[in-house]
């Protein structure tokens, strides 16, 4: 599922501590570099910061009767804007939305704990709203030249358990995203990356879990949306939805060195949800990924050509656009239901409707290569499904050096529908086989 609502526990683990001077090192920005795949150009230089702002919490600032550290955090960002480092090294409570889209040349060192309140009624009314998939956010960063890091110390807790439990009783409940990069030019961090360019995300641990019988829902690791030139690398994600997902108008993105567990895969889409929109995803390279206990490994999902009611609060279809130049390279599967899934009728189980209203999204120039491992028993002996609306909608899709096996030891089967099988070095069968 692709609703952008992540309520997980986020731990910023950028582990570059200097045992000689740990305090000084925590304050300094890590020297991160992308690799081995590169975006083809250098990101703009981020100058060294020249002032520091420590953020007191309500207890240390003497405001004992309050339970919201948002005003002090906002004050620190205003004081340290244009050349400073904001230090969040205590325990903070966030009880109101925080709009930090005005930043310029700021570093953020999170070495303490930030926890959002679980006042659902308040947040539903007061979070920042986004049109795409009814998304909203607690906290958003934007501007130019912003670096956020934790040095192995920082913890951001979305306090999602209350939302998981409430969602189980009310499936139309809209859950905010923990943190959004919105309109950021040149920076580093996580979660929803929207309207942004030149973003590097590295060495982050994300854990999404529920402590009750109600499962965690919509816990995407990262989603990119209307963003260009993004590198997401060398991170661990334990969640229950997409590990990384490329939403509409995501271009020139590299995902590499990832370890994902329990997710819905590294996913293109979903796309084509809104009839008035033209969605594109182009120039994506996914390299050196380990995916375990997931519904999918490598995944491309687009809506059909007509409106489709999928789940409460989630429907769509009829939008147009394209997916082009996407490569999945060096991909390990362990107990995933599908090693590869291409689905051009996302959200619709009625094959008659899928056939009658083929997707308006064209998928072309896609490569799956150097993939291995073992799938789960769910579809055994089938290990993947590449299903297109028509041969005109899926062009130049190839798969080779694929050695994924099924648990039973039978010959692995791949469902191939409306595909040019001459480009697929896999054992294709029909959906009804």
Structure tokens at 193: 């990356």
* Same domain (yes/no): 199, 251: no
* Same domain (yes/no): 198, 250: no
CA torsion, ordered 143, 147, 153, 154, to nearest 10 deg: 10
pLDDT band of residue 153 (cuts 50, 70, 90) is confident
* Same domain (yes/no): 62, 134: yes
Does the structure show a pLDDT above 50 at 3? no
Place of tokens 């999902």: 301
Question: In whole numbers, what is the pLDDT of the chain averaged over residues?
Answer: 89
* 427 located within any domain: yes
* Long-range contacts at 122-130 (CB < 8 A, ≥ 24 apart): 122/95, 123/176, 124/173, 124/174, 126/96, 126/97, 127/97, 127/176, 128/97, 128/99, 128/176, 128/180, 130/4, 130/180, 130/194
- What value, to the nearest 5°, has the Cα angle with vertex 336 and ends 330 and 337? 125
> pLDDT tens digit string along 17-62?
333 344 555 578 888 888 999 998 989 999 999 999 999 998 766 5
Structure tokens at 137: 């956010």
* 230 located within any domain: no
Question: Average pLDDT of 225-238?
Answer: 95
pLDDT band of residue 1 (cuts 50, 70, 90) is very low
* Same domain (yes/no): 144, 263: no
* 295 located within any domain: yes
Q: In this structure, what DSSP letter does residue 234 have?
A: S
* 183 located within any domain: yes
CB-CB contact of 430 with 421 (8 Å):
no
User: 120 burial class (0-12, 13-18, 19+ CB within 10 angstroms)?
Assistant: middle
* Same domain (yes/no): 176, 267: no
* Same domain (yes/no): 198, 254: no
Last residue of a domain, which of 203, 218, 233? 218
Residue 398: CA atoms inside 13 Å, Cβ hemisphere, count? 12
Does the structure show a pLDDT above 70 at 161? yes
Domain housing 117: 1-34+50-218
Task: Single out the residue of 205, 195, 199 nearest to residue 156, CA to CA.
Answer: 205
Query: In terms of DSSP bridges, do strands 128-130 and 135-149 run parallel, antiparallel, or are they unpaired?
Result: antiparallel
pLDDT band of residue 380 (cuts 50, 70, 90) is very high
* 320 located within any domain: yes
* Same domain (yes/no): 179, 280: no
Q: In whole angstroms, what is the distance from residue 429 CA to residue 414 CA?
A: 6
Last residue of a domain, which of 218, 252, 285? 218
* 317 located within any domain: yes
* Same domain (yes/no): 109, 195: yes
* Same domain (yes/no): 281, 172: no
Last residue of a domain, which of 183, 218, 253? 218
Q: In whole angstroms, what is the distance from residue 307 CA to residue 137 CA?
A: 26
* 411 located within any domain: yes
| pLDDT at position 246 | 97
Neighbours of 422 (CB within 10 A): 7
Say how many domains are in the chain: 2
3-state secondary structure of 125: helix
* Same domain (yes/no): 187, 256: no
* Same domain (yes/no): 280, 162: no
pLDDT band of residue 6 (cuts 50, 70, 90) is very low
CATH code of the domain containing 419 = 2.160.20.10
* Same domain (yes/no): 269, 345: yes
- What's the Rg (C-alpha) of the chain? 22
Indicate which residues carry an active-site annotation: 264
* 236 located within any domain: no
Which of 189-203, 224-238, 351-365 is predicted with the least confidence, judged by mean pLDDT?
Answer: 189-203
């Amino acid at each position: 599922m692709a609703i952008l609502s992540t309520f997980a526990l986020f731990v910023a683990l950028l582990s570059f501590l200097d045992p000689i001077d740990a305090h000084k090192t925590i304050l300094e920005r890590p020297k991160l570099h992308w690799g081995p795949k590169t975006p083809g150009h250098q990101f703009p230089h981020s100058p060294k910061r020249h002032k520091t702002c420590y953020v007191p919490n309500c207890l240390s600032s003497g405001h004992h009767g309050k339970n919201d550290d948002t005003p002090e955090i906002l004050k620190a960002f205003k004081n340290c804007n244009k050349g400073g480092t904001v230090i969040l090294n205590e325990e903070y409570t966030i009880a109101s939305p925080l709009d930090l889209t005005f930043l310029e040349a700021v570093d953020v060192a999170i070495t303490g704990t930030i926890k959002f309140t679980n006042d659902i009624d308040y947040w539903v009314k007061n979070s920042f709203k986004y049109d795409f998939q009814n998304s909203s956010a607690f906290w958003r960063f934007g501007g130019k030249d912003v670096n956020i890091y934790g040095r192995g110390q920082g913890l951001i807790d979305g306090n999602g358990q209350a939302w998981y439990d409430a969602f189980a009783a009310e499936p139309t409940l809209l859950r905010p995203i923990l943190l959004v990069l919105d309109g950021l030019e040149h920076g580093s961090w996580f979660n929803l990356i929207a309207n942004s360019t030149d973003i590097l995300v590295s060495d982050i641990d994300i854990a999404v879990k529920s402590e009750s019988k109600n499962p965690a829902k919509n816990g995407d690791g990262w989603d990119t949306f209307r963003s260009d030139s993004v590198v997401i690398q060398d991170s661990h994600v334990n969640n229950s939805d997409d590990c990384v997902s490329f939403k509409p108008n995501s271009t020139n993105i590299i995902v590499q060195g990832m370890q994902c567990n329990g997710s819905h895969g590294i996913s293109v889409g979903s796309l084509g949800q809104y009839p008035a929109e033209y969605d594109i995803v182009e120039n994506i390279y996914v390299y050196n990924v380990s995916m375990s206990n997931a519904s999918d490994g490598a995944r491309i999902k687009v809506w059909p050509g007509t409106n489709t009611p999928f789940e409460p609060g989630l429907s769509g279809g009829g939008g147009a656009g394209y997916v082009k130049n996407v490569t999945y390279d060096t991909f390990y599967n362990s107990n995933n239901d599908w090693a590869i899934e291409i689905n051009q009728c996302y959200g619709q189980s009625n094959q008659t409707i899928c056939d009658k209203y083929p997707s308006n999204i064209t998928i072309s120039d896609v490569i799956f290569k150097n993939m291995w491992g073992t799938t789960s028993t769910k579809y055994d002996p089938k290990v993947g499904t590449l299903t297109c609306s028509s041969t005109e909608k899926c062009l130049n899709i190839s798969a080779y050096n694929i050695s994924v096996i099924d648990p039973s030891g039978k010959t692995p089967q791949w469902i191939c529908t409306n595909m040019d099988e001459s480009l697929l070095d896999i054992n294709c069968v029909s959906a009804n086989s």
